């Protein structure tokens, strides 16, 4: 009996402290994060627009919108910015309308796009929060998930300055997952944000960070994640970039196929 109890308690402790967290790749920078009944979708609601990057096909979009498992009971929807390889206002609006349980936290620019460009935008206003761009970290708690949202300029310099790009650190069942959207590799901004002080378990970064000197030092000096995943890899991505990444981060992976999944 004592042995049995010991075993039971050990299993209980292990399962509580080591909650399995799964990240399923949807397309481009789109992912589904799942852990012990909690679900977060980031940058996955868009259709074919740019040919260079993967996109969810129509059947997958309809599954997500209609809430077919595993896309049911989604606690939180995050969209980093309004570019069409990350976000489409109509699909995002339809998703929120069909998922009254889900909240979207994004930039004021993106929230406005959903309200204005989705025909029934006015009816889902309560599910949307649009944060006005500034330099602070914004903390929220939604359906038991903690989110720290912040702005970093979009990659590409002055050409894309008007695009309000957000990064997110979400905490799901004790694990902290970072998603950078298309953040510019600006060491000063990363120094200012000091993400490593928040404790990053898994960082999802645009793959070019992992193959670039400045990007590598941002990851190593200012993010310091336990696990690293590259996203935004093109359909015809460079094998040389993958080799470089394998050299710089031997344990990291780069998502390349729809539905590939990592457990952490
Ligand atoms: Zn972009």
Q: Which residues, 6 or more positions from 174, have their beta carbon under 8 angstroms from its beta carbon? A: 17, 19
Q: Given CA atoms 82, 24, 138, 182 in this order, what sign does their dihedral have? A: negative
Separation of CA 10 and ligand 1 centre (Å)? 46
Task: Please name which of 29, 48, 102 lies closest in space to residue 72, comparing C-alpha atoms.
Answer: 102
Task: Retrieve residue 210's tokens.
Answer: 């992992």
Taking the centre of ligand 1 as the mean of its atom positions, its distance from the CA of residue 177, in whole angstroms, is: 20
**Residue 88 CA to ligand 1 centre (angstroms):** 12
Angle between helices 58-66 and 89-98 (to 10 degrees): 30
pTM for the predicted model, two decimal places: 0.92
Dist. CA 183–CA 186, nearest whole Å? 8
What does the block give as tokens for 28? 């481009």
Q: From the CA of 160, how far away is ligand 1's center (Å)?
A: 8
Residue 4 CA to ligand 1 center (angstroms) comes to 54
Q: Does residue 212 contact residue 248 with C-beta atoms inside 8 Å?
A: no
How far is Cα 41 from Cα 77, in angstroms, rounded to an integer? 5
Q: Could you tell me the two tokens for 142? A: 């939604």
Determine how many CB atoms are found less than 10 A away from the CB of residue 24.
Answer: 18
Q: Which residues contact 170 (CB under 8 A, 6 or more apart)?
A: 33, 40, 76, 78, 145, 146, 147, 148, 176, 177, 179
| Domains contained in the chain, CATH given | 21-255 (3.60.15.10)
Digitized pLDDT (tens) for each residue of the chain, 264 residues in all? 556 555 555 555 444 445 699 999 999 999 999 999 999 999 999 999 999 999 999 999 999 999 999 999 999 999 999 999 999 999 999 999 999 999 999 999 999 999 999 999 999 999 999 999 999 999 999 999 999 999 999 999 999 999 999 999 999 999 999 999 999 999 999 999 999 999 999 999 999 999 999 999 999 999 999 999 999 999 999 999 999 999 999 999 999 999 999 999
Tokens 């949807």 map to which residue? 26
Residue 48 alpha carbon to ligand 1 centre in Å: 15
């Amino acid at each position: 009996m004592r042995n049995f109890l010991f075993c039971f308690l050990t299993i209980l402790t292990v399962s509580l402290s080591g909650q399995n967290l799964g990240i399923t790749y949807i397309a481009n920078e789109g992912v589904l994060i799942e852990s012990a009944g909690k679900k977060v979708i980031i940058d996955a609601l868009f259709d074919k627009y740019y040919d260079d990057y993967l996109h969810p096909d129509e059947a997958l979009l309809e599954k997500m919108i209609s809430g077919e498992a595993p896309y049911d009971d989604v606690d939180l929807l995050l969209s980093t910015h309004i570019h069409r390889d990350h976000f489409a206002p109509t699909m995002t609006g339809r998703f929120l309308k069909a998922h009254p349980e889900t909240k979207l936290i994004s930039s004021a620019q993106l929230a406005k796009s959903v309200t204005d460009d989705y025909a029934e935008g006015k009816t889902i206003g309560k599910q949307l929060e649009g944060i006005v761009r500034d330099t602070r970290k914004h903390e929220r708690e939604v359906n038991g998930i903690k989110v720290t949202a912040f702005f970093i300029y979009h990659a590409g310099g002055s050409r894309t300055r008007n695009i309000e790009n957000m990064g997110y650190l979400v905490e799901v069942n004790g694990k902290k997952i970072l998603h950078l959207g298309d953040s510019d590799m600006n060491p000063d901004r990363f120094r200012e944000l000091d993400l490593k002080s928040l404790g990053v378990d898994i960082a999802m970064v645009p793959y070019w960070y992992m193959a670039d000197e400045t990007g590598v030092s941002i990851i190593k000096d200012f993010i310091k994640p336990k696990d690293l995943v590259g996203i935004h890899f093109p359909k015809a991505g460079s094998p040389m970039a993958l080799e470089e990444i394998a050299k710089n981060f031997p344990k990291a992976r780069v998502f390349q196929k729809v539905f590939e999944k990592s457990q952490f």
